[in-house]
Amino acid sequence: MTVEFSFNGKKMTAGEGQSVAGALLACGQEELSRSSKYRRPRGVYCAHGHCPNCLVRVDGVPHVRSCLVPAGPGMRVETEGSAGKRFDVYRSLGVIGKFFPVGFQYRWFKRQNAAWRLWENQLRKLAAETEIPAPFDIPAGERLRADLLVVGAGPAGIAAAATAARSGLRVVLAGRRPRLGGSAAPAVASADLLQATEFVRSAENVTVVAPGTVVAGFGDQYVIDRGDRALEVTATASVLATGAYERAVAFPGNDRPGVLLTSGLHRLVCEDGVLTGARAVLVAEDDTAYRLAVDLQRAGLRIQAIVDSRPGPAVALPEGIEVLTGARVTGVRGRRRITGVAIGQRTIACDVVGMSGGWQRADELRYTVTSVGDAVVHGERATRIDPAGWENAPLPVLQGVGAVAGTMDADAAFTEGSLAGAWAAAQHTGGGNHG
């Protein structure tokens, strides 16, 4: 089934459940926004709600992340700021920008009062990328009480929620994206994960808030941004299963539409079903590209090559894919669209580029919790579960499991999550160590 929506007044179609960003890409719309200063075009970058690249206006609501929102019938999608203008004089900054070193406005103008006052106004205009909508009533926040809040709906989060719920706990499971399961594609997810996902979806004692981003924690209270309203959850215990962010690789042109994180490329191809048949080059600084290349090939993306800056990867090479080791990308070819990547004198033709520069724990919520009064203790206790000795560990209030605790393997994360769920259940029934 397809749905029709509009983009800047033009009719577009989307597949069922496809994100707005995925649907736009399928219709050939790569540029979604522009950078504030040099007005450089921006396209989907992470496909996971972690960057400003895909911000658009949806039905008059500004700054909506189009990679997180499923396209709906009759939806009115518009670009914001410079991306929505036919002519923007500031785009010339992108051409003459090389004459202005990074941060020049602060170093130079800040020292000169009159010039700064003039420039400050311009900066404000440059940064104001969208019109503020007309005043509207802010919907009242909802409140919920739970025995356990699980933040993150990847393998670790789902396992924690399912295990705790099976023991009778009232669980709130919050995930940033509408789809549960994290980056584990349904095709390769383990039977345990699929079963647990099904269980949390249907269990009466589990409230799934997805999409729902936990934006702050105050002791045992957490605030979830649901997009159109806030939800305040008071939970006796919480499990942090927020995963990790993939890092970019530094090379000239890595910010252009069509160059994105390999995990984002994986989401677009394997979940949104776009870019099938396109040619891709994966730029690697860790083993992620090798792991995802097999999935991507299977889903229909044609991997031209993996360009790895390391002397040799520590994993088995995917069959039939050229791997260039000890090589670096020196540029991206193509004026309007990407047509290839340059590696020294050689150019490899492609339509899209994936980058894997390693992973960084998504643990900022932990620091939010630690910033509030007595909750400092909670943050310090946000430790990785030791599967052998968790019963004897001091009782943590905020447990970190899965990729946020450094466990990148989905099956191992699932096991950690199950242990955290069991810990929460034991605590609730008084069976755990309350020391």
Contact footprint for ligand FES (CB under 6 A) = 44-47, 49-51, 53-54, 65, 67
Contact present, 82 and 39 (Cβ < 8 Å):
yes
Q: How far is the CB of 115 from ligand FES (least distance, A)?
A: 35
Q: How far apart are the first and last CA of the chain?
A: 55
- Cα–Cα separations (whole angstroms), residue 392 to 299, 387, 422, 431: 45, 11, 13, 11
Q: Which is nearer to ligand FES, 42 or 166 (CB)?
A: 42
Contacts made by residues 7-10, CB under 8 angstroms, sequence distance 24+: 7/77, 7/78, 8/77, 8/78, 8/79, 8/84
Q: Which is nearer to ligand FES, 67 or 413 (CB)?
A: 67
Q: Which is nearer to ligand FES, 47 or 189 (CB)?
A: 47
Q: How far is the CB of 30 from ligand FES (least distance, A)?
A: 12
Q: Which is nearer to ligand FES, 65 or 428 (CB)?
A: 65
Rounded distance between C-alpha atoms, residue 162 and residue 203, angstroms? 9
Half-sphere exposure of residue 288: CA atoms within 13 angstroms, side-chain side: 28
Q: Which residues pair with 33 in a beta bridge?
A: 42
User: To which H or E segment does residue 280 belong?
Assistant: strand 279-284
Q: How far is the CB of 304 from ligand FES (least distance, A)?
A: 23
Q: How far is the CB of 280 from ligand FES (least distance, A)?
A: 17
Q: Which is nearer to ligand FES, 51 or 321 (CB)?
A: 51
CB burial of residue 430 (10 Å; 0-12, 13-18, 19+)? exposed
Q: Is 346 left (phi over 0), alpha (psi -120 to 50) or beta?
A: beta
Q: How far is the CB of 340 from ligand FES (least distance, A)?
A: 23
- State the sign of the Cα–Cα–Cα–Cα dihedral 357, 244, 295, 253: negative
3-state helix, strand, coil in the chain (%, to 5): 30, 25, 45
Q: How far is the CB of 183 from ligand FES (least distance, A)?
A: 14
Helix or strand or coil: residue 153? coil
Q: Which is nearer to ligand FES, 357 or 400 (CB)?
A: 357
Q: Which is nearer to ligand FES, 47 or 174 (CB)?
A: 47
- Number of other CB atoms surrounding residue 388 within 10 Å: 7
Would you say how long the chain is, in residues?
A: 435
Q: Which is nearer to ligand FES, 19 or 407 (CB)?
A: 19
Q: How far is the CB of 398 from ligand FES (least distance, A)?
A: 25
Q: Which is nearer to ligand FES, 50 or 328 (CB)?
A: 50
Q: How far is the CB of 384 from ligand FES (least distance, A)?
A: 27
Q: How far is the CB of 192 from ligand FES (least distance, A)?
A: 29
